[in-house]
Structure 1
Amino acid sequence: MDLDRALAVSAAGMSAQSTRLRVVAENMANQDSLGQTPGADPYRRRTVSFSNRLDRELGVQVLGSPRMGTDSKAFPQHYDPSNPAADDKGYVKRPNVDSLIELMDMREAQGSYKANLAVLETTRGMLMRTIQALG
């Protein structure tokens, strides 16, 4: 039944957006996490990406398992010679987390989650009306 497929695709989309939101939350929670020793690298921003996979049982493309990665962007530095994480020149590496980017990623994931939820609710309503019509 095509409604089963719609439910499966929507559920996979909601799961993917939940994963994206979790990664954004981790990044934002660690945006001030510095290295513990002089010159050590601080927290590196995490990323998540998805690929499509064929669900042979349903005959539709759904999201595959998430691939976790890290952002290779350079660490910004600031001068703070009194900081324990400062290198021999007095510079401290800061995490490469940009709050604005994280906020935009969060808003995009939230919008996609809402869209998948709307499809799920609409499909559920159609199934309920079908069951009522048959009963």
Structure 2
Amino acid sequence: MSLFNIFNVSGSGMTAQSVRLNTTASNIANADSVSSSVDKTYRARHPVFEAEMAKAASQQQASTAVSVRGIVESDKPLQKEYAPDHPLADTDGYIYKPNVNVMEEMADMISASRSYQMNAQVADAAKSMLQQTLRMGK
């Protein structure tokens, strides 16, 4: 594996973790939102990652980049709360809250942040190795 490929892999990892951080932040920001119907209620979103294994297998590479395949909504049940005095209550007196678990989202945010940091450190280490290699050629 060349040192230049390391930048490709770590860069794709940083991009993927950035998407993960953004979706987690969106989930946390909408955790306390309220709606009057199931259809309008915010649902937790999570990115789906895909390793580019087909490219790696065809080129016999030891490293693979990662890409964001898409963002999916969680299928966990929404929180239904009886609050007949709430201005957004439906005809039966219920309001609907998102299926966001803030504790899980915080753990996911820490994990994504650490993964981003590790990819940045890998890119920095590769940069240092390339600089030292260039110095040896002088």
Relative to the length of structure 1, the TM-score reads 0.88
Identity rate, percent? 32
Q: 1:57 to 1:11 in 2, by over 3 A?
A: farther
Deviation string 1:37-87 (CA, Å, 9 cap, x unpaired) is x43431111111111112678944211233111001011122211112212
Please state how far the C-alpha of 1:10 moved relative to its aligned partner.
0.7
**Cα distance in 1 between the residues matched to 2:67 and 2:60:** 14
Q: What is the DSSP-based 3-state SS (H/G/I as helix, E as strand, rest coil) of the residue aligned with 1:64?
A: strand
Deviating beyond 4 angstroms after TM superposition, the runs of 4 or more aligned structure 1 residues are 55-60
Q: Which sections of structure 1, spanning at least 5 residues, go unmatched?
A: none
What's 2:13 paired with?
13
After alignment, is 20-29 or 59-68 more displaced? 59-68
Q: What is the DSSP-based 3-state SS (H/G/I as helix, E as strand, rest coil) of the residue aligned with 1:108?
A: helix
What's 1:71 paired with?
74
Q: Does the CA contact (< 8 Å) of 1:5 and 1:58 recur in 2?
A: no
**Cα distance in 1 between the residues matched to 2:67 and 2:20:** 14
What's 2:46 paired with?
47
**Cα distance in 2 between the residues matched to 1:74 and 1:24:** 18
Aligned positions of 1:28-39 closer than 5 A: 28-35=28-35, 38-39=36-37
After alignment, is 53-62 or 78-87 more displaced? 53-62
After alignment, is 125-134 or 80-89 more displaced? 80-89
Q: Does the CA contact (< 8 Å) of 2:47 and 2:68 recur in 1?
A: no
Please state how far the C-alpha of 1:134 moved relative to its aligned partner.
0.8
RMSD over aligned CA atoms reads 1.9
Task: Tell me how many residue pairs correspond in the alignment.
Answer: 133
Q: What is the DSSP-based 3-state SS (H/G/I as helix, E as strand, rest coil) of the residue aligned with 1:28?
A: helix
**Cα distance in 2 between the residues matched to 1:123 and 1:107:** 24
Relative to the length of structure 2, the TM-score reads 0.87
